[in-house]
């Protein structure tokens, strides 16, 4: 039976120890980073190797946003603009959305070509004055309504290309004044403020298939636990108020916003209501503990996982698409 976790791997190919771990631990999927990427041929071989070890057509994820967060990049792949770059072009709203969708469609083409079928995009966080730059230009706008609209366009571009989108970081990382990779952010905003701004993009796009939590404490909802580990945040806000009923994964459990052992982190996230836990750094000792804490993928979580299946890509000319995107970006410089 599949276990309710997603794991990373250490390098450009799987070691024998990693192959054994994948066969025994049976993660739902795997996630890749720059350390796993060298060429199209190498990356295609790695994704095939992961699926062969698992014995299933397992989902393989990556963070391919554009801008600062791009795991597949030059000189092999094109450099995509940041999310914020689209709004800065100053185009009419419909043209901006069309370009965002086109950019995501091109990303999907790149990913499907090498066996990747899930992209941790779009970022639906809303930055505010004084917040940490960890989100910054990864956000499409400072307007929640515009973030919702452009995030939807990005998701549609990925879906058209046969790649599943992941909305992140639900219910919102944009107000955080710290980088959750390094420490635990605490948001002091009232629930009314959060509902009036931060939650809006997630509510608008709550029908999308996959979501990723935020390692952020929201004092007005749960004064102690970060969203990833908080039943109040997940049940009352994410599943309730926001209405997200897709597969909910954690942000990376190895981030320093969380504390305690890795089995306990995984157990806490599953107990709080996450469907799947994410462990990214490829450390097998940690990954084994995460696998033990995550347990089997069962019940409603399994149903959501089965529902999150990428469809075949729609017909698309990537050369013409790249020409259109480049022309629009050049005109806006």
Mean pLDDT of 174-188: 90
pLDDT in tens, 250-290: 999 999 889 999 999 999 999 999 999 999 999 999 999 99
Q: Please give the pLDDT value at position 197.
A: 97
What is the pTM assigned to this prediction?
0.96
Active site residue 181: yes
CA angle at residue 107 from 216 to 306, to 5 degrees?
Answer: 65
Assess if residue 50 is contained within a domain. no
Q: How confident is the model at residue 331 (pLDDT cuts 50, 70, 90)?
A: confident
**In angstroms, rounded to a whole number, what is the distance separating the alpha carbons of residues 52 and 22?**
10
Omega cis (within 30) before 75: yes
Assess if residue 265 is contained within a domain. yes
**Is residue 333 scored above 70 in pLDDT?**
no
Instruction: Find the catalytic residue in 57, 181, 317, 326.
Output: 181
Assess if residue 23 is contained within a domain. no
**Is residue 299 scored above 60 in pLDDT?**
yes
**Is residue 323 scored above 60 in pLDDT?**
yes
Instruction: Find the catalytic residue in 63, 198, 251, 275.
Output: 251
What CATH number did the domain enclosing 241 receive?
A: 3.20.20.300
Bridge partners of 64, per DSSP, are 70
Assess if residue 325 is contained within a domain. yes
Assess if residue 57 is contained within a domain. no
**Is residue 189 scored above 70 in pLDDT?**
yes
Active site residue 279: no
Assess if residue 272 is contained within a domain. yes
**Residue bearing tokens 């890795």:** 262
Give the residue numbers spanning the domain of 129.
63-281+301-332
What total number of domains does the chain contain?
A: 1
**In angstroms, rounded to a whole number, what is the distance separating the alpha carbons of residues 24 and 27?**
9
pLDDT in tens, 101-141: 999 999 999 999 999 999 999 999 999 988 888 999 999 99
Q: Please give the pLDDT value at position 179.
A: 83
Assess if residue 145 is contained within a domain. yes
**Residue bearing tokens 């092999």:** 76
Assess if residue 212 is contained within a domain. yes
**In angstroms, rounded to a whole number, what is the distance separating the alpha carbons of residues 69 and 32?**
13
pLDDT in tens, 19-63: 999 999 999 999 999 999 999 999 999 999 999 999 999 999 999
């Amino acid at each position: 039976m599949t276990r309710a976790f997603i794991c990373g791997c250490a390098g450009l190919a799987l070691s024998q120890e990693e192959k054994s771990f994948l066969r025994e631990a049976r993660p739902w999927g795997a996630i890749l980073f720059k350390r796993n990427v060298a060429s199209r041929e190498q990356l295609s071989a790695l994704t095939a190797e992961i699926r062969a070890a698992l014995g299933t057509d397992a989902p393989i994820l990556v963070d391919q946003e554009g801008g600062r967060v791009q795991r597949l990049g030059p000189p092999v792949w094109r450099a995509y603009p940041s999310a914020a770059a689209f709004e800065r072009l100053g185009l009419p709203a419909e043209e901006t959305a069309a370009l965002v969708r086109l950019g995501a469609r091109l990303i999907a083409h790149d990913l499907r070509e090498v066996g990747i079928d899930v992209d941790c995009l779009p970022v639906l966080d809303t930055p505010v004055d004084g917040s940490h730059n960890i989100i910054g230009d990864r956000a499409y706008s400072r307007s929640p309504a515009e973030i919702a609209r452009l995030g939807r366009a990005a998701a549609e571009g990925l879906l058209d290309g046969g790649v599943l989108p992941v909305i992140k970081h639900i219910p919102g990382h944009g107000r955080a004044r710290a980088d959750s990779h390094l420490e635990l952010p605490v948001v002091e905003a009232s629930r009314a403020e959060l509902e009036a701004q931060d939650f809006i993009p997630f509510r608008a796009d709550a029908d999308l298939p996959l979501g990723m939590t935020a390692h952020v404490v929201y004092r007005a909802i749960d004064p102690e636990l970060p969203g990833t580990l908080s039943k109040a945040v997940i049940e009352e806000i994410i599943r309730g108020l926001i209405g997200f009923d897709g597969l909910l994964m954690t942000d990376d459990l190895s981030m320093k916003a969380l504390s305690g052992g890795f089995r306990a982190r995984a157990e806490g996230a599953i107990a709080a209501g996450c469907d799947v836990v994410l462990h990214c750094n490829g450390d097998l000792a940690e990954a084994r503990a995460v696998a033990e804490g995550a347990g089997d993928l069962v019940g409603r979580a399994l149903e959501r996982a089965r529902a999150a299946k990428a469809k075949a890509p729609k017909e698309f000319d990537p050369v013409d698409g790249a020409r259109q995107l480049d022309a629009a970006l050049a005109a806006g410089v």
